[in-house]
Amino acid sequence: MARPLFQQPLHDGWRFRAAETRLGDMEQFTAVDGWHAASVPGTVYQDLLASGAIPDPLVGRQEAAVQWVAERDWCYRLDFDLGADALRDRMALVFEGLDTFARLWLDGQPLAESDNMFVPLRVDITERLPHAGPSHHTLWIRFDSALRRGRALEAHHGARPLWNGDPSRLYVRKAPYHYGWDWGPTLLTSGPWKAIRLEAADLRIAELASPVVLGDDPAHARVDLHTRLDGDLLGSIALEHTLFDPAGTLIATHHSRATAQHTAALSVEAPQLWWPAGHGAQPLYTLHTRLVRADGTVVDAQQRRLGLRRLRLVQAPVAGEAGRSFVFEVNGREVFCGGANWIPDDNLLNRITPARYRERVQQAVDAHLVMLRVWGGGIYEDDAFYDACDELGVLVWQDFVFACGLYPAHPAFVASVETEARAAITRLRHRASLALWCGNNEDYMLAEAVGAYGPGGDLSRFEARAVYEQVLPTLCHALDPGRAYWPGSPYTASTGAEATVAGSGVRPSQDPTAGDRHSWEVWHQLMLPYQRYAEVGARFVSEFGMQSHPSMAVLEQSIPVGERFAGSRTLQWHNKAFSPVGADGHRRLAVYRADTLRHPDTLAAEVQATQFVQAEALRHAYEAFRRRWQTPGARGCGGALVWQLNDCWPVTSWAIVDSAGTPKPAWHAIRRAMAPLACAVRRGTAGVAAWAMHAGAQPMATQARWQLHTVEGDAVDDVTTRVTLAANATTELAPPPSWSVDPDRPLIASLALASDTCSARAHAWPEPYRWHCFPDPGLQIGSDADGTVTVQAARPAKGVWLDVPGTPATRFEDNFLDLLPGEVRRLRVAGTAVAADGIIATCLNTLQDPPG
């Protein structure tokens, strides 16, 4: 008779030490000295920090002082007891993740080996244990240096081209960013980074697939169930599936005799549909699957939450243009996917709590972003990340973990990748938030750069195409057939007669008329002015960005006092951006700041200046890309994902939320540009333009107020018109004739839209800002009895930034404000309450005071 599944976590009591080259394996683990307490799940860096053996690598330039850690092997050991009640017909040790080259022993005898950070390891130990009575056991794990092992593989197979990190990383199935990236430190962690447990089962649920089928009729849905069992099926065992609606009401059941493989279906009438944030609610159904004996004893059980929705990737002709669209459609509605790229939120992954995951995803939602791309140089994220995306309505573009390299494809490597991909797909395929599987990040782009892809490329050098165009899509089709697969990012599929041969090389990877594109002509490559973002758009812009410093609070925690000045060596150390000519992020940052603003004279002013430029650049970008979201059939751009949402350490980077979780001014600029109702204006020598972006499902009647002011605040024109905005589209607006008069005159053009339910504002100030003198705006900060803060200006104020030094928990609902003369803004405040006199307000006007 099958007994209930028994699980015993093996997390307490671990110890670790550095391996000594003079000792053999047995001697390493039986040595008496040198052992320290270890955290499991965890990594050696965390344990070394906790024991005081290394300095904090995120402070100053101490990263350099800890590189020796990656060159050593590390030993972990655990003594544990097993009670007689745990014994079953089948016993296993389960390792959810080992980072990365690991050899294991149980009771001094070899047990298993692992060489892929992303592959769970399940080892049958039934024959290793006594058949009765309690017992004592030892578990040993030796983690070999991934750097050394990778270099040995590279020496055997040959060096390969890449961007970022040590070239040996291409042979190692480990998070690529651990090797250092152009925004992150080099910290090659090792250790048992995920859970370890003893599992005893006579019978268990080995695999469960639960795809949701939603047809053209939204009144009916179906959950298909495919179950695979492992173990002894003797006796009367029932397989039960029960589905509960979001309110907890039982709505569908299935009972059958348990078999090794089983297929069933649950019908749902009048389903509550799951929508991306801002387009509807995110109801989640709960599926319970159980194995039950005749006497009612539960042998094994699983639970998961499902969102009922239909999602398609639409690639269709674009009216009046070449190529095809790249649009995500949810429940029959096309959705502009304004979003961001996601990197791991820490180099020491076990420090990221579920609360921190949810906070970051919530920050994306609060900025009206509906998609996060889990970038291929990181990891397949923790379940807590996908839980937050499911619950909050954020679509996930999921890269497989390949980034910026010409990866190998020899049989052992491909076999490891296949096992890794199978584990990732089966773990994540039930997620409502999961929108797309993508083969890699920038591998086609790199292959093209070295002549191994694209028109005229030697495709025989690009062996990993077999992974991206055969192995991965075959697995996705077999294991998750309802989800779109895309070979890489960026990638342009062939068209016409070549369409049947994926990646045939006839088209560049960066074609703006089809597929997705990384638009780095701004910042990288040509270093175009950010005002020209409209020229580098694409059908889907999956990367673009502008750097800035993090907050002063972050710098004060990570930069020594003597180095807290603009241009310091340590400040430059915390900017990892580089190009083929070397580490030049600080130089590019200086160029964009100098092109836009006058030279700041303090570190605080330098921080404010770079954050100002980033905010303005990303405002221009989102407004330009979203403008191309025209009416159905004319979706010139289907989405824009800024690089990047978050940081993994205190750094000057492209993130819009710094490593302390503080939103930068750019976050506020994006939030306004991506709001359900948003507008944009342009006035200058290049012409006059205005447009409104409305995400609602119905047309909207609005009142438009058009104003012109001098920089001193004198009113030049004030016109009100009525405008009806198209549903879920951009509407081009006709500015008043006065806007076209004397385009060289430095005027502030303002547009305010208002409907019965919402409003939007946009301003076009004369640029470049460094050419102009903006008088003191006469800012006044007040507070109401309910804690609301009021902000007003006597003269036009650009980029008003409100800050409360020393209280990072204080967050203003809106910030980085443009104010017209006499305009009053009332802002709610989250976090610590603050008096008006505790608020510091800065803006462009104060950043570059008039001379004299």
Residues annotated as catalytic (active site), given as ranges: 442
Between CA 838 and CA 111 the distance in angstroms is: 62
* 3-state helix vs strand vs coil in the chain, percent to 5: 25, 30, 45
Q: Give the Å distances, CA to CA, from 237 to 207, 233, 253, 301.
A: 17, 7, 16, 13
Q: Give the Å distances, CA to CA, from 648 to 120, 177, 657, 717, 778.
A: 25, 10, 10, 48, 38
Between CA 723 and CA 718 the distance in angstroms is: 16
571, two tokens: 């400040």
Query: Of 418, 416, 557, 541, whose CA–CA distance to 476 is shortest?
Result: 418
643: left (phi over 0), alpha (psi -120 to 50) or beta: beta
DSSP E strands: which ranges in 96-134? 101-106, 109-114, 121-124
Between CA 157 and CA 411 the distance in angstroms is: 12
The residues near 358 (Cβ < 8 Å, ≥ 6 apart) are: 384, 387, 388, 392
- Give the DSSP letter of residue 248: S
Q: Give the Å distances, CA to CA, from 814 to 89, 351, 666, 718.
A: 61, 30, 12, 25
474, two tokens: 């075959």
The CA-CA-CA angle for residues 356, 360, 365, to 5°, reads 140
The residues near 535 (Cβ < 8 Å, ≥ 6 apart) are: 521, 528
The CA-CA-CA angle for residues 31, 37, 38, to 5°, reads 105
CB 289 within 8 A of CB 240: yes
Phi, psi of 351 (to 5 degrees): -80, -10
The residues near 475 (Cβ < 8 Å, ≥ 6 apart) are: 418, 421, 422, 425
Q: For residue 637, with 0-12 CB atoms within 10 Å meaning exposed, 13-18 middle and 19 or more buried, which class applies?
A: buried
What is the residue whose two structure tokens read 């910030």?
Answer: 815
- Alpha helix stretches (DSSP H) within 439-584: 443-449, 465-466, 472-479, 552-558, 569-573
User: Which pairing describes strands 371-374 and 337-342: parallel, antiparallel, or unpaired?
Assistant: parallel
Query: Of 420, 408, 473, whose CA–CA distance to 174 is shortest?
Result: 420
The residues near 784 (Cβ < 8 Å, ≥ 6 apart) are: 790, 826
CB 706 within 8 A of CB 717: yes
Type of residue numbered 795: R
Query: Of 371, 446, 437, whose CA–CA distance to 403 is shortest?
Result: 446
Type of residue numbered 826: R
Between CA 555 and CA 73 the distance in angstroms is: 33
The CA-CA-CA angle for residues 607, 664, 757, to 5°, reads 140
345, two tokens: 């939120």
- Give the DSSP letter of residue 502: T
Between CA 350 and CA 63 the distance in angstroms is: 19
The residues near 79 (Cβ < 8 Å, ≥ 6 apart) are: 13, 136, 137, 138
The CA-CA-CA angle for residues 225, 230, 231, to 5°, reads 140
